[in-house]
Structure 1
């Protein structure tokens, strides 16, 4: 189930990126993005740019794993723009924290890696990411989150 979800998310992301044009990294409408992420977890996604290479993101979502739970995360991200002329596609990576609120609440570390594409001539950005998780409290466990999303610059 998890393998097929990750494969579906990655395939969808590459299709979205393949059929999108190009835009400049510095052509952002604003420094704040708000949207949705679909996958594990599914919910609201917020991104606040600090520069053309750095941003903070946060998610408030529902995790479908186990009996279901609320998932809250925040990450510090670094971006490497892959097309030096237009800068519309960025590979990003970072470090953050995740809290899962359920009967067996967990606190852990996230290491997100993803791609973001700023759609030209719009206020929209698409992204997909995979985030390995290392839960530290109440016990040490390993898991992986992943999702595909779209945000609008507000």
Structure 2
């Protein structure tokens, strides 16, 4: 099941087409919950897909994977000079966590699936292949138990031309 999820995320992120001045595919780092690698691929100026693989430091440390479909709005926080852009975005996606509960008295591994609803802001530099971002994402886990949590991270990505 983990392999199928990873393959699906990779194909979805890497298969998009479209043209952006700074490049379609960005790879970088994120710090927060989770902390790890962030990937974003733009379909066009409005639609994008992102993915993250990282480490979650809550609840017995766990591997965290997510992918989100994102819609961007440039008119909420317009920038008036320099060509830089600061879109606000929202989306929906999936989150998978592989949690090790050994030593907690449960003696089993948990595989947790949930739905993410990310909200964030990006800063896109007109003359640089970098972006900065901050996001918060409520997460509704649906297996093995119904639970609610929040992800939040800040990060930066480099876009390949």
Normalised to the residue count of structure 2, the TM-score between the two structures is 0.76
1:38–1:69 distance in 2 versus 1, CA, 3 Å: same
Counterpart for residue 44 of structure 1: 37
Hey, what's the Cα distance between the residues in 2 that align with 1:44 and 1:100?
A: 15
1:73–1:27 distance in 2 versus 1, CA, 3 Å: closer
Counterpart for residue 147 of structure 2: 141
Counterpart for residue 14 of structure 2: none
Counterpart for residue 27 of structure 2: 34
- Unaligned 5+ residue runs, structure 1? 1-25
Hey, what's the Cα distance between the residues in 1 that align with 2:150 and 2:112?
A: 14
Hey, what's the Cα distance between the residues in 2 that align with 1:28 and 1:143?
A: 36
Is residue 117–residue 125 contact of structure 1 (8 Å, CA) maintained in 2?
A: yes
Normalised to the residue count of structure 1, the TM-score between the two structures is 0.79
Between Structure 1 and Structure 2, the one with more helix by share is 1
Hey, what's the Cα distance between the residues in 2 that align with 1:28 and 1:71?
A: 31
String of CA shifts for 1:23-64, please: whole Å, max 9, x gaps.
xxx863211110000000000000000010000000011000
Residue 65 (1) aligns with residue 58 (2): yes
Mapping 1:31-110, distance limit 5 Å: 31-81=24-74, 82-83=77-78, 86=83, 88-102=85-99, 103-110=109-116
- Unaligned 5+ residue runs, structure 2? 1-18, 100-108
| 3-state SS of paired residue (1:105) | strand
2:136 to 126, 130, 135: 130
Q: Could you say which structure has the larger radius of gyration? A: 2
- The CA deviation at 1:97 is 0.2
- Compute the RMSD of aligned alpha carbons: 1.5
- The CA deviation at 1:111 is 0.1
